[in-house]
Amino acid sequence: MLDSNKDSLKLEAMKRIVAMIARGKNASDLFPAVVKNVACKNIEVKKLVYVYLVRYAEEQQDLALLSISTFQRGLKDPNQLIRASALRVLSSIRVPIIVPIMMLAIKEAASDMSPYVRKTAAHAIPKLYSLDSDQKDQLIEVIEKLLADKTTLVAGSVVMAFEEVCPERIDLIHKNYRKLCNLLIDVEEWGQVVIINMLTRYARTQFLSPNQNESLLEENPEKAFYGSDEEDSKDDKPDAASLVKRKPYVMDPDHRLLLRNTKPLLQSRNAAVVMAVAQLYFHLAPKAEVGVIAKALVRLLRSHRSQGNWAAAKAALSVQGMFEPYLKSFYIRSTDPTQIKILKLEVLTNLANETNISTILREFQTYIRSMDKDFVAATIQAIGRCATNIGKVRDTCLNGLVQLLSNRDELVVAESVVVIKKLLQMQPSQHSEIIKHMAKLTDNIQVPMARASILWLIGEYCEHVPKIAPDVLRKMSKSFTGEEDIVKLQVINLAAKLYLTNSKQSKLLTQYVLNLAKYDQNYDIRDRARFIRQLIVPTEKSGALNKYAKKLFLAQKPAPILESSFKDRDHFQLGSLSHLLNAKAVGYQELPDWPDEAPDPSVRNVEVPCYEEEEEQEQVKKGKKKPPQDEGKGGSESSWEEGSVSESSSSESDSGSEAEESQSEPESKRRTTVRGRAGQPGRGLLPLSSGTTPLPCREVGRSSHPPPCTGLGLSSCPSLSILDQLITSQPQHVPTAFLPPSAQMLSPVFSTMKTYELLHRMAGEGLSVEYYFNRQPFPPDPHMVAVQIQFSNNTESEVKNLRVSEPKLVSGMRIQEFQEIAVEPSGSMVGIDTCPQLPGVNWAGSFSLWHVSSSTHSRQFYVSIQPPVGELMAPVFMSENEFKKEQSKLTGMSEITEKLTLLDKCQSDHTIVQRVTAAANHLHAPSFPTGRFAAKTVTSGSLILITLEQKEAARAHLTVNSEKMVIGTMLVQDISQALAQ
Amino acid sequence: MIHSLFLINSSGDIFLEKHWKSVVSRSVCDYFFEAQERATEAENVPPVIPTPHHYLLNVYRHKIFFVAVIQTEVPPLFVIEFLHRVVDTFQDYFGVCSEVVIKDNVVVVYEVLEEMLDNGFPLATESNILKELIKPPTILRTVVNTITGSTNVGDQLPTGQLSVVPWRRTGVKYTNNEAYFDVIEEIDAIIDKSGSTITAEIQGVIDACVKLTGMPDLTLSFMNPRLLDDVSFHPCVRFKRWESERILSFIPPDGNFRLLSYHVSAQNLVAIPVYVKQNISFRDSSSLGRFEITVGPKQTMGKTVEGVMVTSQMPKGVLNMSLTPSQGMHTFDPVTKLLSWDVGKINPQKLPNLKGTMSLQAGTSKPDENPTINLQFKIQQLAISGLKVNRLDMYGEKYKPFKGIKYMTKAGKFQVRT
């Protein structure tokens, strides 16, 4: 059926095959037939083939290779779902030969436009890593890039990849820590769990313990106050250490951020998330704040999904003390499964204190009558523990337990005997009655452990029951041969003790027992008998030890401590698998201890706008990581890709991602090379402005992104002449016409060049095209707007004959085409200026797309450029008087006013200027109290004036005066949007 | 993360297996069977079973064991919660989640599982998204598919996957716009022999069925939000708004979902709506015991108590029971020793009563413990905690939706000790 032409038949066949796989039947014989269908158009067939491939590719590696090309094609599909699923399958077929292909695909996908595909890339990382761990370094690079991703969809998956591939590289997190904290709430639930667990570990290494002061005070309050001499003398650096310790603890704001942002997640419906937050609080929060998790944990416990709540209960065991208000939630129902009953019991016992013990004991009394005998036994033990912990109720408990001795169920009696034994050991003298009672029980009780306990008790306290003890021994010696080993040992023990205290009555009996034991099957018993005989029975040889025999046997024994069996699991991370099993699971990562001194918190600073020293630091760091020649002017493909990522992320939102920063640095290097080579004063303009004003420095660094392409030289490129012309002509135009008094004022105008994507390299088959408005006058025709277009070739092969063919222009538009670019070698970039003119007459029309089809020698791509209105003008310099004069002319219909509320971060003049100039190519007229901006439209030269008056309480009036009303309204919209961001 | 999943029915057959990484041989389940044998009841199987190379985590629901195999450290609740989510998804897709249904729809199940996990890490668990990727089977669709040859599998990425509201798909359209909310409260209580309450708590949930066009933004406010002590929300609820104003503000998912689950603070006294009077006595000597139960209403705020069902696990010594109920049906299973009495509605004038004798095994002494009685009941149109929804408003869309709110009180784990 698989060979048939009809999709429906194929589908039917595939369905049957998948059903076979599901049932665990081997369907690998069909591999060749199935693989053929991997290119099938029907999406359901395709999916099922994928399912099949993933299952069997490992077994039939050679045949699986046949399918690879299909996936590679799928990776370039315009549909993001298909791209993602192709990557998923490609990375899921575990065939070592395709590792390089996978690596390439992951790298590609990591910079895909669609976050879904990026998420899939993050998923693919651990798969590749498990297949070939040699790729680790490259994978870490990809992880680093993805960690900087701002979408919530990716965050969870990439952290998961991080945890599996390189959990030790905690330094990768620094830059992203705050972002992760802030995104956390919007990440999908499963991602939240992983991120929270990772952040717990991170915080443990990066912050100081919030409880250190307390614990210090608890341990040695005096020392904390007066400083300790001993400690100091031991300590290598006594002063520093004690200083750090004495300094009042101030929580790192980032630590606080984490705690604050995770708290709402306690309300999550997902138990795993709640648990993750609970463990985070347990391990990270100051003691006073840990209490908040109690409520949430009790909720988990109560949840009706019975099997889920044992985990919570186990957690509750570790986190004692805060559950007191919820005591009744732990009361046990007869319908609970046994394990939960026992856990609840454990919690109840741990919660017991003097005030609530009476209620708990009353509750226990009901449990004792339960039909579930294991549970009853556990309850009796719990009572014992309560009794030892709380002295007040010991007698009550003991009496209760003694009553249980008359229970008909043997298990119950046995368990009580064992517990009573332990209790009696604490205060034997007052309870000879009980011992007598228990001695009587030996006739009835058959459970060996209980019999042994009774015998031990009688032996130990034979002085309190002098008459009964020998009698018991007599009975026991009769039945000796039929007893269990453990009982036999105790019989011997009893005999020895009696022999020592009351040798008259028991000498013969002891001899008899020892003789019996001598021929016992168990060597342990034979040994013991021999050993004891030598010890107690006086013979000629064994003089020395004999004297001490009494001391040996009847020494005071310390009372046992009844402990919970759950006591010693605190060293595992709460809620982890290891914690649950109390054994280290594979891959468990130890929670690190708090550091003594906090590592430098500044590593997490990312969004601080460009401080000189920080950048220097960064440069030093980067310099270490990558050899500088990598970012040389050759512009290798990888570094270019990085660049394109930084562009896309920067257009999304504010600066701050790491990729961007890393980009800014090589950029500055390139800049210098440009300057060095050209050596013209006009080119020095950009570096100059960056040197003098620290704040926009980085911005300029980014905006000067294009120069590297021009500076790349590309001596073979014909367009270079245009560019050169442009650049050289720049100083002539700018200073004469508009150059403001200081370069500082001009820099914001350049600061925010956004790059727009014209052709993605997925769609362009390796050729990617971007454009931006460089805001420079276009020398051949001053009435045109310059658009700089960059081509970059990401393919292996050369791209030839790039040109614009048949531009479809809206009426009234002009374009000056660029010359054909003959050859573009692989991995190179070309920058081109092209200048459409957008005349003022036909505004509405010109905003519709500007269609250009750029075509290579074989392929044609249709692209369109849509200029924002702000780019269609050039800044004008005018004095205040001029400005007012012009403004007064443009009132009425040509004045548009809007009221705005400025956000906090936009309050300062500087940011306002920055944002407005980013939105529109205006010149900020200096020295006015209110923000004023002036510009002319490039085509018609009509004035556009912007006034921004700040009122109190963050209000502001935005006025735009222009005779072009359409421009005016659009500009108002753009600017108010820019300010609202 | 999660390596493989095995579905095992109660008779111990592995009827479905799915691997997300390398194939794990199904012989790993032997460890599970071992543990299952040791545990007397299905619920008693330990949820985590360590084996030399793997860990088996299991969930028992709808008489199916869902056994997940993991190899490395994972938060166990992560896996358990995921398994529960799998079950919920199946239930959502097929209405019921049973062995037969899963076997019938094995291909859809497989496709769904494939989408839910990638390399063992959850990929899409929102049922809205899944349903767009793989459409749930209906009779109509099967017919259409066979005729037109179209498929169950969506070829576009669900829009929700990428948006900020992943739980809602775009372009929802209804001719009748409705939003129904069910406030359901369950009373968990333990009542002692004398009829006094040992512990009683109210767990409540608000389940919603929202069928609204477009992207509505709803707010739901309560008359007495202070009652709610501990709440957990569907991810769509804006937490900040709740913190500051105690208002639920959310963009709802499409269709059925659980908006909120809450717990009413233990400080408030919980009204117990029914009482049980019982007289169960065994005598040591005779082989007959007396048995009598009466159920009556108490604090029901004038509403009738319906759907009353009494079950009790009798001690092993009870051989048979001969009882006569004043109303309803009763059964006693001599093998499992389970007595159940379907009472139905309680009429306050004539209280339902079950009376008779038990025949005990001769020679055995009387059991230590009287059986506990489990009670189930329902009260319509009443939220026992007194919680009341004040109003529901919709923003963001123009039309007027039809709104409805229903209250119900049920017994949760309601147990009477005797």
Q: Which of A81, A267, A369 comes nearest B232 by C-beta?
A: A267
Contacts of B365 in chain A (CB under 8 A): 408
Q: How many CA atoms lie within 13 A of A85 on its CB side?
A: 25
What is the Cα–Cα distance from A53 to A842, expressed in whole angstroms?
A: 58
State in Å, rounded, how far the first CA of chain B is from the last one. 47
Looking only at the bridges linking them, the beta strands covering B402-416 and B178-191 are parallel
What is the Cα–Cα distance from B31 to B132, expressed in whole angstroms?
A: 38
Q: How high is the pLDDT of residue A929?
A: 54
Q: Which residue of B has its CA nearest to A160?
A: B121
Q: What does the DSSP 8-state code read for residue A774? A: -
Decide which of A729 and B64 is more confident.
B64
| Range in A58-67, A118-127, A320-329, A347-356 with the lowest mean pLDDT | A320-329
Question: Residue range A721-731: average pLDDT?
Answer: 35
Q: How high is the pLDDT of residue A608?
A: 40
CA A191 to chain CA centroid, Å, is 7
- Please name which of B289, B278, B312 lies closest in space to residue B358, comparing C-alpha atoms: B289
Asked if A149 and A578 touch (Cβ cutoff 8 Å), the reply is: no
What is the Cα–Cα distance from A891 to B274, expressed in whole angstroms?
A: 79
Give the whole-number percent of chain A exceeding pLDDT 70.
Answer: 56
Partners of B329 in the β-ladder: B342
Cβ atoms < 10 Å from Cβ of A902: 19
Does A160 contact B121 at a Cβ distance shorter than 8 Å? Answer: yes
Contacts of B71 in chain A (CB under 8 A): 586-587
Contact of B160 with chain A, judged by CB distance below 8 Å, is answered with no
- From B50's Cα to the closest Cα of chain A, the distance in A is 8
Report whether pLDDT(A67) > 70: yes
Q: How confident is the model at residue A155 (pLDDT cuts 50, 70, 90)?
A: confident
Phi-psi domain of A866 (left: phi exceeds 0; alpha: psi -120 through 50; beta: other): beta
Does A371 contact B164 at a Cβ distance shorter than 8 Å? Answer: no
Q: Which of A299, A325, A333 comes nearest B263 by C-beta?
A: A299
Does A307 contact B77 at a Cβ distance shorter than 8 Å? Answer: no
- From B212's Cα to the closest Cα of chain A, the distance in A is 24
* pLDDT tens digits for range B117-170: 887 788 877 777 777 777 777 666 666 665 655 555 655 656 555 566 677 777
Q: How high is the pLDDT of residue B81?
A: 84
DSSP string, A691-715: HH-STTHHHHHHHTSHHHHHHT--T
Question: Residue range A212-222: average pLDDT?
Answer: 45
Work out the widest C-alpha separation in chain A, in whole angstroms. 133
Does B415 contact A126 at a Cβ distance shorter than 8 Å? Answer: no
Q: How high is the pLDDT of residue A246?
A: 45
Q: How many CA atoms lie within 13 A of A581 on its CB side?
A: 22
* pLDDT tens digits for range A611-669: 333 334 444 344 343 333 333 333 333 333 333 333 433 334 333 333 344 444 444 44
* pLDDT tens digits for range A232-280: 333 333 344 444 444 556 677 788 888 888 888 888 878 788 888 888 8
Q: How confident is the model at residue A186 (pLDDT cuts 50, 70, 90)?
A: confident
- From B349's Cα to the closest Cα of chain A, the distance in A is 32
Decide which of B391 and A908 is more confident.
B391
DSSP 3-state of A548: helix
Q: Which of B23, B151, B232 comes nearest A42 by C-beta?
A: B151
Does B110 contact A583 at a Cβ distance shorter than 8 Å? Answer: no
Report whether pLDDT(B322) > 80: yes
Q: How many CB pairs below 8 A link A and B?
A: 231
Report whether pLDDT(A332) > 50: yes
What is the Cα–Cα distance from A296 to A277, expressed in whole angstroms?
A: 10
Question: Residue range A728-737: average pLDDT?
Answer: 35
Contacts of A58 in chain B (CB under 8 A): 22-23
Q: Which of B17, B74, B365 comes nearest A577 by C-beta?
A: B74
Q: How high is the pLDDT of residue B305?
A: 87
Report whether pLDDT(A830) > 50: no
Q: How high is the pLDDT of residue A302?
A: 67
Question: Residue range A844-867: average pLDDT?
Answer: 50
Contact of B284 with chain A, judged by CB distance below 8 Å, is answered with no
Q: Which of A153, A269, A585 comes nearest B55 by C-beta?
A: A585
> A439 CB contacts (<8 Å, ≥6 apart)?
A454, A458, A465, A468, A469, A472
Contacts of A585 in chain B (CB under 8 A): 55, 72-73
Q: Which of A80, A190, A334 comes nearest B372 by C-beta?
A: A334
Q: How high is the pLDDT of residue A272?
A: 80
Q: Which residue of A has its CA nearest to B53?
A: A586
The 3-state secondary structure of A140-192 reads HHHHHHHHCCCCHHHHHHHHHHHHHHCCCCCHHHHCCHHHHHHHHHHCCHHHH
> B195 CB contacts (<8 Å, ≥6 apart)?
B275, B276, B277
Q: Which residue of A has its CA nearest to B260?
A: A269
Asked if A814 and A842 touch (Cβ cutoff 8 Å), the reply is: no
Contact of B63 with chain A, judged by CB distance below 8 Å, is answered with no
Does B77 contact A188 at a Cβ distance shorter than 8 Å? Answer: no
* pLDDT tens digits for range A780-796: 666 666 667 676 776 66
- Cα-based distances in Å from A218 to A210, A233, A246, A661: 14, 22, 14, 46
Does B125 contact A189 at a Cβ distance shorter than 8 Å? Answer: yes
**Alpha helices, DSSP H, located in A602-719:** 612-625, 637-652, 658-678, 685-692, 697-703, 706-711
Question: Residue range B354-377: average pLDDT?
Answer: 78
Kindly list the strands in the beta sheet with B373-380, ordered across the sheet, starting from the edge strand earlier in the chain.
B228-233, B255-264, B197-211, B178-191, B402-416, B373-380, B306-313, B338-344, B329-333
Q: How high is the pLDDT of residue B369?
A: 67
- Please name which of A479, A475, A480 lies closest in space to residue A492, comparing C-alpha atoms: A480
Asked if B160 and B215 touch (Cβ cutoff 8 Å), the reply is: no
Contacts of A275 in chain B (CB under 8 A): 75, 77
Does B1 contact A160 at a Cβ distance shorter than 8 Å? Answer: yes
Report whether pLDDT(A553) > 60: yes
Contacts of B315 in chain A (CB under 8 A): 371
* pLDDT tens digits for range A568-598: 555 666 666 776 666 666 667 676 776 666 6
Highest mean pLDDT among A115-119, A290-294, A371-375: A115-119
What is the Cα–Cα distance from A322 to B332, expressed in whole angstroms?
A: 44
Q: Which of B70, B166, B198 comes nearest A331 by C-beta?
A: B198
Q: How high is the pLDDT of residue A652?
A: 40
Interface of B with A in 103-132 (CB under 8 A): 106-107, 109-111, 114, 118-119, 121-123, 125
Query: Which two tokens mark A850?
Result: 């500007």
Q: Which residue of A has its CA nearest to B153?
A: A44
Query: What is the average pLDDT score of chain A?
Result: 66
Q: How high is the pLDDT of residue B367?
A: 65
* pLDDT tens digits for range A435-492: 777 777 777 777 777 778 778 877 777 777 777 777 888 888 888 777 788 888 888 8
Q: Which of A53, A344, A403, A577 to mutate to test the interface with B (most CBs of B within 10 A)?
A: A577
Instruction: Name the pTM for this structure.
Output: 0.64
Q: How high is the pLDDT of residue A680?
A: 36
Report whether pLDDT(B246) > 80: yes
* pLDDT tens digits for range B23-41: 888 888 888 888 888 877 7
Q: How high is the pLDDT of residue B182?
A: 92
Does B230 contact A298 at a Cβ distance shorter than 8 Å? Answer: yes
